Amino acid sequence: AAENITMVLYPNDISESGKELRLRQQYFLASASLQDVIARWIGTDGHEFSTFAEENCFQLNDTHPSCAVPELMRLLMDEHGLVWDQAWEITSRTMAYTNHTLLPEALEKWPVRLFRHMLPRLLEIIYEINARFLAEVARRWPGDIERQRRMSLIEEGPDPMVRMAYLAIVGSFSVNGVAALHSRLLTEGLFHDFYELWPEKFNNKTNGVTPRRWLAWCNPGLRALINENIGDGWTSDLSRLTELAPLARDADFRARWREVKLENKKRLAEMVEAETGVRFDPAALFDVQVKRIHEYKRQLLNILHVIHLYDRIKREDTADWTPRCVLIGGKAAPGYVMAKTIIKLINNVAGVINADPAVGDRLKVVFLPNYRVSAMEIIAPGTDLSEQISTAGKEASGTGNMKFMMNGAVTMGTLDGANIEIREEVGEENFFLFGLTAEEVEETRRRYDPAACIEADEDFKRVIHLLTCGHFNQVEPGIFDPIIASITSPHDPWFTAADFTSYVAAQRRAADAFRDQEVWTRMSIHNTAASGRFSTDRTMQEYNSEIWRLEPVPAFSVEEAF
């Protein structure tokens, strides 16, 4: 029975299914971690906890380990004899919380009855934390009952719930988002009440990725070319990549850069053909969107653009055509029917396009199954255009965007998550921007008219016609009706129709830029050169100095690792 606790990790990474096993897993892992640290502390310091908070910090990675707040209280009081005030002083000075999403359905809430049944002592402690917290809210805003109801750790109703994100905020001395926009939106929206109470708790730590895996290891061709020109110091100080920027003016260097990219595209094309049977021509524009399948990430917008390109070919609007290979990959949560339907649409559209001799090498489309880290190590180095097209305000940061940038892909993106910081670093001339801003999305929500967006754009009308007439599901009538309904609904939360026209225009600019290989290569070099900020080394230095209060230790030689 104990084995069951860690046998299966819940595969549903976005919306939580309210299952007992999940809470059991969370409690088990949080408690085990705390008990491990406390056992070591007692081993060296005995039962002296007065300096525990100075020497220890627990970074809550999302709300999944937020049981740690009441559990540390329980351990300190029930197992180690501290009184409430001492235990709270320690807990609230050692816990720090990182939020990873603004999507309300991803914020965990556990039924009070589940706690009462499984973790009754933790529920007692949560109630006590809440009573003391709401007294503080009442002191700050006397008589504001509505605010107390909003901020309570317990959501009232027929089936009362524990709000785990609020528990994490109340129990922590630091609350951070993972990109500048995301951290700002947390303080303005989701956690605004808490920001008003404790503005000093809130901060930003923009995510990063490791340049050892995501450049040096996965792209040996580019690693060698970079080392030849600026040495290898960049693997432990990624800001040194800025030394590549002047080389963008050197025609010989650009030719070498293109050779490396071509070899990486051949390697990616081999993988695509082995997995899907579809041949990608390495000379074409490799246009890639790989990430979990979710409506907010808008793989749907991507496939609408693909249908538009197909339509242009069929009506022979192909002057100055840029051959393009579109790769879409990613896993959907097992119960997410709309995400599965989007995958089905991508596959059906790919089937029609790849089988049409009139299309030929002008356009190829594949859905790559089983997207995973080892696949990304091949994909990122071989990509020209990185699709980061989420509805503005919905992608907390993104890290795929950073892996692509490091490997010299140019981003096609909305002003969302870390895309904003990527564009600031690389310059607007080296980034393809489109779409509504987060503010415009909120503004549009009240008067959104997708039918008008479709009516105003002849190309969009034709795409919708191809979908509604069943061109991609001739023997499967009606299967894409839910997709058509979502695009055309005034209540579509993802504003796919609102961004179609500007997306197609930006794609046209990208295609034009790619036809001038010297222009494109310059953009590519500038992207790698400007990616230094997105090293996780920078992220960790910020967590170290601003939250964990740790001193850096000397890095080991990266040469030894390779």
**Residues in contact with ligand PLP by the rule CB under 6 A:** 291-292, 371-373, 376, 398-400, 403
Residue among 91, 101, 206, 399 flagged as catalytic: 399
How far apart are CB 290 and ligand PLP at their closest, in Å?
A: 7
Q: How far apart are CA 527 and CA 411, in angstroms?
A: 9
CA distances from 243 to 69, 507, 531, 536 (A): 46, 30, 12, 20
How far apart are CB 457 and ligand PLP at their closest, in Å?
A: 27
- 423, 438, 430, 444: which is closest to 534 by C-alpha? 423
Nearer to ligand PLP, 90 or 366 (CB): 366
Q: How far apart are CA 288 and CA 409, in angstroms?
A: 10
Nearer to ligand PLP, 416 or 492 (CB): 416
Residue among 291, 305, 423, 526 flagged as catalytic: 291
User: Is 100 noted as a catalytic residue in this protein?
Assistant: yes
User: Is 292 noted as a catalytic residue in this protein?
Assistant: yes
How far apart are CB 11 and ligand PLP at their closest, in Å?
A: 13
- 252, 209, 210: which is closest to 228 by C-alpha? 252
How far apart are CB 432 and ligand PLP at their closest, in Å?
A: 16
Nearer to ligand PLP, 364 or 403 (CB): 403
Q: List Cβ neighbours of 313 (8 Å cut-off, separation of 6 or more).
A: 321, 358, 359, 362, 363
Nearer to ligand PLP, 394 or 522 (CB): 394
496-515 and 481-488 helices cross at what angle (nearest 10)? 100
Number of Cβ within 10 Å of residue 281's Cβ equals 14
User: Is 109 noted as a catalytic residue in this protein?
Assistant: no
> What is the total residue count of the chain?
562
Nearer to ligand PLP, 174 or 528 (CB): 528
Q: What is the DSSP letter of 246?
A: G
- SS3 (DSSP) at 549: coil
Residue among 80, 93, 100, 471 flagged as catalytic: 100
Nearer to ligand PLP, 266 or 372 (CB): 372
How far apart are CB 298 and ligand PLP at their closest, in Å?
A: 12
Question: What phi, psi does 22 have (nearest 5°)?
Answer: -65, -45
CA distances from 263 to 46, 254, 270, 293, 528 (A): 59, 14, 11, 29, 17
How far apart are CB 207 and ligand PLP at their closest, in Å?
A: 8
Q: What stretch of H or E contains 10?
A: none
- 59, 73, 189: which is closest to 130 by C-alpha? 73
Nearer to ligand PLP, 393 or 400 (CB): 400
Residue among 292, 314, 462, 538 flagged as catalytic: 292
CA distances from 126 to 32, 306, 462 (A): 19, 51, 56
Q: What is the DSSP letter of 535?
A: B
Residue among 64, 74, 403, 533 flagged as catalytic: 403
- Count of helix runs (H) and strand runs (E) in the chain: 27, 13
Residue among 297, 308, 364, 526 flagged as catalytic: 297
How far apart are CB 506 and ligand PLP at their closest, in Å?
A: 18
Question: Residue 499: exposed, middle, or buried by beta-carbon count in 10 A (0-12, 13-18, 19+)?
Answer: buried
How far apart are CB 59 and ligand PLP at their closest, in Å?
A: 20
How far apart are CB 279 and ligand PLP at their closest, in Å?
A: 24
Nearer to ligand PLP, 74 or 403 (CB): 403
Q: Are 417 and 181 in contact (CB under 8 A)?
A: yes
Residue with smallest beta-carbon separation from ligand PLP = 400
Q: How far apart are CA 115 and CA 74, in angstroms?
A: 14
Q: What stretch of H or E contains 472?
A: none
User: Is 291 noted as a catalytic residue in this protein?
Assistant: yes
Query: Which two tokens mark 435?
Result: 């779409």
How far apart are CB 523 and ligand PLP at their closest, in Å?
A: 20
Nearer to ligand PLP, 91 or 210 (CB): 210
Q: Are 362 and 323 in contact (CB under 8 A)?
A: yes
**Backbone region of residue 277 per phi and psi (left: phi > 0; alpha: psi in -120 to 50; beta: other values):** left
Torsion 400-401-402-405 (CA) sign: positive
Nearer to ligand PLP, 4 or 370 (CB): 370
User: Is 399 noted as a catalytic residue in this protein?
Assistant: yes
| Active-site residue list | 100, 291-292, 297, 399, 403
